[in-house]
Amino acid sequence: MTDQLTVATPGESRAWLRTELRTRKTQAALTLTAGVLAAAASTIPAYALGLLVDRIRAGSDAGAIVPVAVVLVAAAVVGGIATAFGGYLTARLGSQILADLRERTIARALRLPAQVLDRAGRGDLLSRVSADISAIDRAVSEVLPGMISALLLAGISLAAMIGIDWRLGLAGAVAVPLYAIGLRWYLPRAAPSYAAERVAIADRSQVFVESMQGTRTVHAYGLEDRHLGSIEGLSARARDISMNVFALYTRFVWRINRAELTGLASVLVVGFLLVRHGVVSVGAVSAAALLFHRLFNPIALVMVTFDRVQDAGASLARLVGVLDMDVERRDGGTAPAGRELVLQDVSFRYQGGPPVLSEVSLRVAPGEVVALVGSTGAGKTTAASLAAGILRPESGYATVGGVAVTELPADSVAIVSQETHVFTGPLAEDLRLARPGASTGEVSAALDRVGALAWARDLPDGLDTVVGSGGHQLTAAQAQQLALARVVLLDPPVVVLDEATAEAGSAGARDLEQAAAAALRGRTALVVAHRLTQAASADRVIVLDHGRVVESGSHPELIAAGGRYAGFWAAWSATDRR
Amino acid sequence: MSSNAKPGTAILRRAVARNGKRLWLGTVLAGIYQISAALIPVLIGVIIDRAVETGSVTALLTWIAVLVGLFGVLAVSYRFSARNLQRAIAEEGHRLRVEVAAKILHPRLVRTDRPAGDLLTISTTDADYTSYVLDHLPRVISAALAVVVSAVTLLVISAPLGVIVLVATPIMLVTLNLAAPLIANRIRLQQDQAGRTTALATDLVTGLRPLRGIGAQDAAAERYRVVSREALAATLSAARAQNAFQGASTMLSTLLAGGIAIAAGWFALTDRITVGQFIMVIGSAQFLIEPFGTLAIVPRWYAAARASADRVASVLNAGLILPEGTADPATSELRLRGVKHGPLAGLDLHVRPGEFVGVVAYRPAEAEALVRLLTVPDAYEGDLLLGGQRLEEVDRARRLMHVEPHQTDLFTGSLASNVDVHGTGVEFAEVIRAAAADEVGLDTPIAERGSNLSGGQRQRVALARALFARSPLLVLHDPTTAVDAVTEHAIAGGIRGLREGHSTIVITSSPALLAAADRVVVIEDGTVVAEGAHADLSARDDTYRQAILR
């Protein structure tokens, strides 16, 4: 199994691009037309000037300049307008495709299975949605219009040279294989270098993200130098790899120059011979030489941007790669026939690890609250994740109302874990993630139900206060209350709480327990409890040990039975020293 | 405008100054390259004039040999120029990145409200864009050189033609530059919007677990879509301005070159210059379009580089929260007198060396305020003293006090690299036992942010790490919230045993930990309301009992 997210093959990327262009046929055709017009307008002057050369040699009078002047001015005006439209249309086509791509990538990324993302690391995904998207963005707005217009110009100029005299066209075409040889020398060498460069940049990004998100710990331990050292090391590595790629590139430019020299000399020598044999005029040779020289920069641009396009192609492959990854899908889903949560003979192990759960069966009746208790490593969190459909069982099944939890509509089962996140933006918008379009009244009611409305109203801008990264900082307990309020707003029939009250510390935990109880009212609930008060107030308690159910019953029953749960409770109460 | 423009400009200036050697060598070579390129159309004219026109084989061979030589100079100057400049650009981008990182990780804590995604963009895209100024400068200079060489060629052939070029070029550039502020504005908007999409993507990916928990991925994707469409609109608005500019620039420079050609054609038709000279003029005028275009585009490039440099500067110039620590206290005695900070309203707390003190705050916000203050002693009133010195003035390198953040951050590596963070090589099995983290094997690899461990395991590894630091004063904040009761009991004993002889403050409401403390201090409404042994407090104080005993 790979530790990185998927990268698309060149074929997959091309197929994706073809599909995108096909869905925008008219727009693509319009873009091409404007581009051709711009290219044609810019070859006309050289052609007209060639004619002028012959007029000069023929000793025409000064009036011969007039038609040439008219053509030149017209070509400049048409060329300018066509350039503007061509450039804009190309940028528009490209950025619309890019916008679709990044939106689909994010939608996909958010659906990646939990295990895949944990293995691959968030840095890789973050670098894809930031650095890669901006690399393509730059290619689309800076490179692509120039490259397309250059290619059109090259094609039309060569056609014009052949139009003057096919032998002159052929002489110029001598450069084509040399350009091709240059590319064939360069591209296979550049591709692996670019890949290495990308990986180095992803590594750099990952260590950067980790350091920034862990600044508290970095400061607490005085690890600033150490982390800065690894950022510097990885950044330097990325820089050195980039330099090697560039050294290769300059050798490539030498090959481009060789092609230019050969083509130009060949046009001049052939022109010399043709003029000597009286086949073509000096003006025709001049026009051909000028047309050919006019191509130096645009063709060099194509050759040079080939690597930037390749660069963007590498980024594209990483985005299209995400699009092609398997995701958890809950398209509509099948509505459950009831509200009963069942785990039947469920077994699970993490990749290559020992079994975490072995044939666990449990049943939570509609509206019942069942607490899951056990010592550390008993498999409580795994059982909760399976019940919520975040993990898929290796064998056995998890259902709600007879429907597999992974097939349910999104608003059927909610899980709140101890990992909280406050989403950047107004507080009310954070809640609306659970139900887009919820009214202010509904948002307030949800906050009120979990006892958060009072403090939320006291924030600087009330419910419109910007919270999260860079905004107003909420406490861990407040963040967890928000998580519960989201559940209330979502209003799912089944809820799984995985130590959702743990993060706040015991004093805050009591408030949170009340908030959780309020959020669970009327729902089928599976609650992973470290705090046994939660277990004591649940309808039923299930004790897990080493991945197996060892006890099940109400709190008083289990206490009376004097088993493992009774032991937990004794340890718990002992700390009271009442 | 001019006042907030300065920081970015200073960053760009510094980039130029500190890459001086490579930059100027690269620029001189780029100039030679550009002159060689400008001479090519001249040579084409000469070859047509001296060889094609006359039919002389000797002349043809001679001038083709000159052409080959010229290409040699061109290729060599390009290669060494480009390598020097690229090295400077890569080096500058790297240095900016490291500087941004150093600022964000500064031990005295940077004052910034930028989200993490934004900082990532600044360290990558903006650092790169800023360094591109080292590419822009040589291009501008060599383009200007090319214009000069072409102008001289034209002046030699015909003074009036040369004058037309020298007068018309600046007029055209000034005209085009009128559009620069509009374009710069739109580009800034575009970049801001791009930054927003990146920040949102980062935020959503970071909060993926909670999102998944409530099945809100579609809502989140929709939210991203809205921002992405706004970014697209900004991109298109910038593209409209840029391409209108590009079109106008193409039109004007083609008209200028065309004008020169028409004038030269008229001169040739009236026999004032030869056919070869006419071709040289046309070739030069045609060649001039490129450097003219470069010069016209410069404001746009510069605007992009400056916008990025402004953002880099906003991080590099951000203030630091803590003053320079110079005090060097002898003991780890901690004393708070009348401290006001957020919800803390005149807090008194005294922890003597060697004491194990439990602190209970009835409201979590007060506990968090206390921890925040001990971590970042800023914006408070009253006395906050470590060993008799003001805490913010204590030299951090002394590390008399270690405050372990409640939110655990583990880093990619091994268990060893996460516990023995400074790589001392000291045996750490003891602290792993004390933190009851035995089940995490000693050679377990740790994935990014500890994502391969459970919440409870992460918490215990972080506790082991805090204990391993063996700081004279250790402050823990709710270290066992994700741990079951039995284990918590064991951990309380483990901490007590390992901290014998050192001071320890545990801010918690866990009875197991409080029972292990020498004394417990109770905070309510921002002040200390009770103090005593856990057993006594639980026996006589009803409020305490209700808050603590579950």
B394 lies in the same domain as B483: yes
Q: Do A72 and B258 touch (CB under 8 A)?
A: yes
User: Residue B524's domain is classified under what CATH number?
Assistant: 3.40.50.300
According to the model, what pLDDT value does residue A577 have?
Answer: 38
Q: pLDDT by residue (tens digit) across A121-139?
A: 777 887 888 778 878 887 8
Q: Which of B316, B349, B381 is the last residue of a domain?
A: B316
Distance, CA of B5 to chain centre: 19
Q: Is residue B43 part of a domain?
A: no
Element (H, E) at B60: helix B57-104
β-strand pairing of A540-545 with A524-528: unpaired
Q: Do A65 and B269 touch (CB under 8 A)?
A: yes
B216 lies in the same domain as B361: no
B460 lies in the same domain as B428: yes
Least trusted range by pLDDT, from A386-390, A524-528, B112-116, B456-460: B112-116
d(CA A559, CA A566): 5
Note whether B69 contacts A: Cβ–Cβ < 8 A: no
Q: Is residue B222 part of a domain?
A: yes
Q: Do B411 and A80 touch (CB under 8 A)?
A: no
Say if residues A416 and A483 touch (Cβ distance below 8 Å).
Answer: yes
Q: pLDDT by residue (tens digit) across B154-167?
A: 888 888 888 887 78
What's the mean pLDDT in B487-510? 90
Three-class secondary structure of residue A491 per DSSP: coil
Note whether B284 contacts A: Cβ–Cβ < 8 A: no
CB-nearest partner of B283 from A38, A290, A417? A290
Residue that wins the pLDDT comparison between A509 and B89: B89
Q: Report whether pLDDT(B454) > 80.
A: no
B292 lies in the same domain as B415: no
CA distance A567 to chain B (A): 9
Least trusted range by pLDDT, from A176-180, B113-117, B369-373: B113-117
Q: Which of B290, B316, B342 is the last residue of a domain?
A: B316
Q: pLDDT by residue (tens digit) across A230-267?
A: 999 999 999 999 999 899 989 999 999 999 999 999 99
Q: Is residue B182 part of a domain?
A: yes
Q: Is residue B52 part of a domain?
A: no
Q: Which of B273, B290, B316 is the last residue of a domain?
A: B316
Average pLDDT of chain A is 87
CB contact residues (below 8 A), chain B span 286-325, against chain A: 286-287, 290
Q: pLDDT by residue (tens digit) across B321-343?
A: 888 888 888 888 999 999 999 89
Give B176's pLDDT tier (boundaries 50, 70, 90).
Answer: confident
d(CA B243, CA B260): 25
Q: Identify the residue whose tokens are 């001296």.
A: B50
Spell out the domains of chain A, with CATH numbers in brackets.
10-323 (1.20.1560.10), 341-574 (3.40.50.300)
Give B2's pLDDT tier (boundaries 50, 70, 90).
Answer: very low
**Domain membership of residue B191 as a residue range:** 9-20+85-316
Q: Do B91 and A222 touch (CB under 8 A)?
A: no
B241 lies in the same domain as B366: no
Cβ neighbours, 10 Å, residue A64 = 19
CB-nearest partner of A219 from B51, B107, B407? B107
Note whether B78 contacts A: Cβ–Cβ < 8 A: yes
According to the model, what pLDDT value does residue B34 have?
Answer: 87
B350 lies in the same domain as B294: no
Q: Is residue B56 part of a domain?
A: no
β-strand pairing of B356-361 with B401-404: unpaired
Q: Report whether pLDDT(A421) > 60.
A: yes
Q: Do B254 and A76 touch (CB under 8 A)?
A: yes
Q: Do B509 and A506 touch (CB under 8 A)?
A: yes
d(CA B116, CA B203): 8
- Contact residues for B93 (Cβ-Cβ < 8 A; gap 6+): A239, B127, B128, B130, B131
CA distance B546 to chain A (A): 10
Note whether B106 contacts A: Cβ–Cβ < 8 A: yes
ipTM (interface pTM): 0.84
Three-class DSSP labels, A507-552 = HHHHHHHHHHHHHHCCCEEEEECCCHHHHHHCCEEEEEECCEEEEE
- Contact residues for B231 (Cβ-Cβ < 8 A; gap 6+): A99, B190, B193, B194, B196, B197
d(CA A570, CA B4): 65
Q: Do B275 and A53 touch (CB under 8 A)?
A: yes
Least trusted range by pLDDT, from A126-140, A457-471, B366-380: A126-140
CA distance B84 to chain A (A): 10
According to the model, what pLDDT value does residue A329 have?
Answer: 66
| Residues on chain B touching A53 (C-beta within 8 angstroms) | 275, 278-279
d(CA B42, CA B358): 87
According to the model, what pLDDT value does residue A174 have?
Answer: 93
According to the model, what pLDDT value does residue A273 have?
Answer: 95
Highest mean pLDDT among B57-71, B114-128, B156-170: B57-71
B285 lies in the same domain as B417: no
Q: How long, in residues, is chain A?
A: 578
User: Residue B181's domain is classified under what CATH number?
Assistant: 1.20.1560.10
For chain B, the domain total comes to 2
Give A331's pLDDT tier (boundaries 50, 70, 90).
Answer: low
Nearest CA among A155, A265, A56, A57 for reference residue B66: A265
The Cα diameter of chain B in Å comes to 119
CB contact residues (below 8 A), chain B span 489-508, against chain A: 489, 507-508
CB-nearest partner of A84 from B87, B243, B399? B243
Three-class DSSP labels, B154-202 = HHHHCHHHHHHHHHHHHHHHHHHHCCHHHHHHHHHHHHHHHHHHHHHHH
Q: How long, in residues, is chain B?
A: 550
Say if residues B525 and B345 touch (Cβ distance below 8 Å).
Answer: yes
Q: Is residue B37 part of a domain?
A: no
B290 lies in the same domain as B433: no
- How much of chain B exceeds pLDDT 90, in percent? 42
Q: Is residue B70 part of a domain?
A: no
Give B29's pLDDT tier (boundaries 50, 70, 90).
Answer: very high
- How much of chain A exceeds pLDDT 90, in percent? 45
Q: Which two tokens stand for residue B369?
A: 């305020």
Among chain B residues, the shortest Cα distance to A298 is held by B290
Among chain A residues, the shortest Cα distance to B509 is held by A506
| Residues on chain A touching B52 (C-beta within 8 angstroms) | 268, 271-272, 275, 282, 285
Q: Residue A247 — φ and ψ, nearest 5°?
A: -60, -40
Say if residues A340 and A363 touch (Cβ distance below 8 Å).
Answer: yes
Least trusted range by pLDDT, from A189-193, A437-441, B141-145, B267-271: A189-193
Give B506's pLDDT tier (boundaries 50, 70, 90).
Answer: very high
**A562 burial level (CB within 10 Å; 0-12, 13-18, 19+):** exposed
B364 lies in the same domain as B251: no
What's the mean pLDDT in B362-375? 89
Q: Is residue B49 part of a domain?
A: no
Q: Do A110 and B217 touch (CB under 8 A)?
A: yes
CA distance B317 to chain A (A): 18
B269 lies in the same domain as B409: no
B348 lies in the same domain as B274: no
| Residues on chain A touching B59 (C-beta within 8 angstroms) | none
Q: Do B124 and A294 touch (CB under 8 A)?
A: no
Q: Do A375 and B487 touch (CB under 8 A)?
A: yes
| Residues on chain A touching B404 (C-beta within 8 angstroms) | 220
| Residues on chain B touching A503 (C-beta within 8 angstroms) | 406, 481-482
Give B240's pLDDT tier (boundaries 50, 70, 90).
Answer: very high
Cβ neighbours, 10 Å, residue B308 = 27
B299 lies in the same domain as B378: no
Q: Report whether pLDDT(B43) > 80.
A: yes
Say if residues A359 and A55 touch (Cβ distance below 8 Å).
Answer: no
| Residues on chain A touching B266 (C-beta within 8 angstroms) | 62, 65
Q: Do B244 and A72 touch (CB under 8 A)?
A: no
d(CA B411, CA A211): 8
Say if residues A343 and A388 touch (Cβ distance below 8 Å).
Answer: no
Nearest CA among B462, B77, B224, B480 for reference residue A104: B224
Q: Which two tokens stand for residue A230?
A: 């690894």
CA distance A345 to chain B (A): 23
Q: pLDDT by residue (tens digit) across B414-452?
A: 888 899 988 888 888 889 989 988 878 777 888 877 877
According to the model, what pLDDT value does residue B279 have?
Answer: 78
